[in-house]
Amino acid sequence: MDELEIDAVAEVELDDPVLVEGLPGVGHVGTLAVEHVLEELEGESTLVRRIYSREFPPQVSVEDGVSELTCAEIHAVEVPDGRDLLLLTGDHQAQSNAGHYTLTDAFLDVAEAFGATEVYALGGVPTGELIEEYAVVGAVSDESLLEAHEDAGVEFRDDEPAGGIVGVSGLLLGLGERRGFEATCLMGETSGYLVDPKSARALLEVLEDVLGFELDYESLDERADEMEDVIGKIQEMEQQQGMDVPTDDDLRYIG
């Protein structure tokens, strides 16, 4: 296999589409968000591209006994009364710095081929503590994009996230801007040590506002309830066993 291969699975005509990335990251926030859109708009979605790369881990996924080489996928979603979407999903990011650049360029190539000029990268920003109110922190590739997102409730904070934005989400901003894309990164606040459906919902509510689509959240809310049950049981077990329950300071970390 070559270093990078893009399989054209299907061709569709889209109306002013937007690329929305949801690859694994902190709290799996972006991944959960994009998977929920695919689940809710399944009837309007079409798998259009698979991207294979030697930068992905050397493994296959297995479903019902059938293997599939690790890859990223792009689904086209025709949204009634809203902007059409190109949803980027996958189980892995690249394993090297050079690989992040190669794959991000490939994702932008696909977006460009379908006529997209706008990109949203979705992810999480770790707080290191359990939170009740889920803010969405943003970064944009151009100052002209600030106002519309502030109106949608996105917070733009000085020097946050600390250390910048790494991986595909960061490069979609940087490389996207250099290629003429309007690029935005939306990061839901999350503790950073658990899968976080509530943070994913906060991101999606912003996207609903700025891109003009509507979703049902019943299944995502059920996952959030399940995670809260898990947290409660872990804390209860630790208390019964006389173990120290982690404090907010214990949970804080960089990354």
- The 3-class SS string of 85-131 reads EEEEEECCCCCCHHHHHHHHHHHHHHHHHCCCCEEEEEEEEECCCCC
Per-residue model confidence as pLDDT tens for the chain (255 residues)? 899 999 999 999 998 999 999 999 999 999 999 999 999 998 889 999 999 999 999 999 999 999 999 999 999 999 887 899 999 999 999 999 999 999 999 999 999 999 999 999 999 999 888 788 899 999 999 999 999 999 999 999 998 888 899 999 999 999 999 999 999 999 999 988 789 999 999 999 999 999 989 999 999 999 988 888 877 776 677 677 765 545 444 443 333
Side chain identity at residue 242, one-letter code:
G
DSSP string, 7-48: EE------SS-EEEE--S-GGGHHHHHHHHHHHHTGGGEEEE
Residue 27: closest CA among 202, 210, 236, 173: 202
How many Å apart are CA 104 and CA 178, to the nearest integer? Answer: 12
Q: Is residue 42 classed exposed, middle or buried when 0-12, 13-18 and 19+ CB atoms within 10 A define those classes?
A: exposed
Say whether the peptide bond before residue 57 is cis (omega within 30 degrees of 0). Answer: no
How many Å apart are CA 234 and CA 231, to the nearest integer? Answer: 5
For residue 232, the SS3 value is: helix
Please tell me whether the overall predicted TM-score, pTM, comes out greater than 0.85 for this model. yes
Residues comprising the chain, all counted = 255
How many Å apart are CA 9 and CA 88, to the nearest integer? Answer: 14
Query: pLDDT, tens digit, for every residue of 63-96?
Result: 999 999 999 999 999 988 789 999 999 999 999 9
Q: What is the 3-state composition of the chain as percent helix, strand, coil, each rounded to the nearest 5?
A: 40, 25, 35
Paired tokens of 98: 């050079």
How many Å apart are CA 6 and CA 144, to the nearest integer? Answer: 33
Side chain identity at residue 233, one-letter code:
K
| Element of type H or E holding 84 | none
Side chain identity at residue 65, one-letter code:
G
Domains of the chain as residue ranges with CATH? 4-243 (3.40.50.10900)
How many Å apart are CA 86 and CA 113, to the nearest integer? Answer: 11
